[in-house]
Structure 1
Amino acid sequence: MSNSEAEEKEIPRLVVIGGGTGLSVLLRGLKRFPLDLTAIVTVADDGGSSGRLRSEMQMPPPGDVRNVLVALADVEPLLEKVLQYRFSNGDGLAGHNLGNLIIAALKDITGDFNHGIQELSRVLAIRGRVLPSTGQTITLKAEMSDGSLVEGESRIPRVGCRIERVFIDPEDAKPVDEAMEAISEADGIVIGPGSLYTSLLPNLLVKGMADAIRASSAKKIYICNVMTQAGETDGYTASDHVEAIYRHVGSELFDVVIANDAIPPLAIQQRYAAEGADPVLPDMDRIRKHGCEVVSANLLETRDVLRHDASFLSRSIMRLIRK
């Protein structure tokens, strides 16, 4: 084996699964480390520009994929602004995001949503690989505690009723082959952070996805949110997040749970409380009862909003998968 082959073999293969802001924040940290990185991204969004393209072009929504591509790309600030640009005027253009339109165009040019993503990944020279969890158009649905059924990822958190379960339609939506291969070959698999019911579970509910993760020999890591989300996880502790996932896709999915144990500044807490969000309590003992190792630490990066400290999380993940 040549030196270059030996070095390539030593680079850990990491799969990160999720969507929304949390996934993009984490990937901006991870791309600075020597990793063979694959991001598997939710395609359940049905709001805004993504929702319009989904409806009009019969394609999976591109918004979460776009954000992940930007997070992994080494692009000039102006190009990032171009990809994230949202039109404010124009008949038919107002509200659309330019990056979404580019992905839609590449989907038509290549004839396939995933192929279009790979072509844009090549143009942007991203550090890693971005894959949709499924190439099919799926709809997220939720059964609420009052027995009602809500359809649509964007509508579910706005109902104001506790979520009992979510499911995707069609329930037999097939995963992208490359995503399943990445999971089977991974040294580490990270799920989260992200909206529990509308970003994480839509990936895990794709047929065969959870079973493939469970069967993988990789270190499986769940990163819990630092704050609850109004309409989704009101009053949830860290173990409530884990147990909700296990109720949907079966237990023994995670080896390690990373949870925040720091208290946000009071002013930040008050601002989030006004929006119906509170700190997620890290109930370690209850998590350990599920057979998970717990890593608890100050995960907060506090600015105008709370974010996970991507640099600290990335170093923690690297230590775990190198054990």
Structure 2
Amino acid sequence: MDAGRVSRRRTAALPTPVALLFLLPAAVLFGVFVLYPMATALTYSLFSWRGTAQEAFVGLDNFVALFTTEPYRTELPRAFGHNALLFAGAMAAQNSVGLLLAVLLHQRERFRRLFQVLFTMPYLVSPLVVGYLWSLLLSPLFGPVNALLRAVGLDAVAQPWLGDPDTALWVVVLVTAWQWVGFPLLVYGAALGALDPSTQEAAMLDGAGAAQRFRHVTLPLLTPVIGTVSVLTFIFSMEAFPIPYALGGSSGSPAGATDVMSLLFYRTAFHSGASNAIGVSSAVAIVLFLVIVGVSVAFTRWFRGVERRLT
């Protein structure tokens, strides 16, 4: 009897023709706009090119060129390091400021929706628009940021934020974190609203204070959400293009200080003028894809292990 029930449950869980019909549009879109470009990029990276004309099969030579020939040997690790720093900054902001704002808003019913909308608005604006707006705000000639600093007597602090290699990348990190902080706010807010209030009540009866309840009850229960936000933040950071492009241009100015992997791909494909631009740029895309998939899978498995230990 038990085996029959299991069999019936498995049969009921199998996709029906109607379910497959509803999944078909999404599967077609995924295949056309994700799988096909990925397969095409992999194919392109294994051939040499003269302009747009495909030539001989070269195997992994395009990948070898990325790590052995200039300027790729210098630009690739530099761009990847900038992506890693961008991820670290966004991760710190989203899992601290975003979580803090979500907790504060969760504790207050009044004006909660208003502040959620205000904090989320930058996330809904195009990153390219956000980047250009901040480039105007930080302009050393007419930008209001430096004008405000001079008005309050902080002339020494006012500087060309995007023209100095020591500050340009940090501007990209801060602008990116500022725009995306609304995303974890919404996710953490929804997760906090779904928590069972009886766990907080039990901790209060045991004499736990607010800080202890957050550390030992709320935070462990949010581990799955923290993992999701962290993985998505890593993917977004590695794919970053609009804000670095708007703030530093395709060359990652000044002096490559804002260069990232997507800019390297774009520059190699369209601005390098190299005869084998398609092959090498496709190799850059494949390397970026492998890094994103590999680290995302590692992050996911690590967070799942943390969840199992907590339960």
Q: TM-score, normalised by structure 2?
A: 0.26
Structure ID, larger Rg: 2
Structure showing the higher helix proportion among its residues: 2
Q: TM-score, normalised by structure 1?
A: 0.26
Higher RCO (CA-CA < 8 Å; seq separation 6+): 2
Structure showing the higher strand proportion among its residues: 1
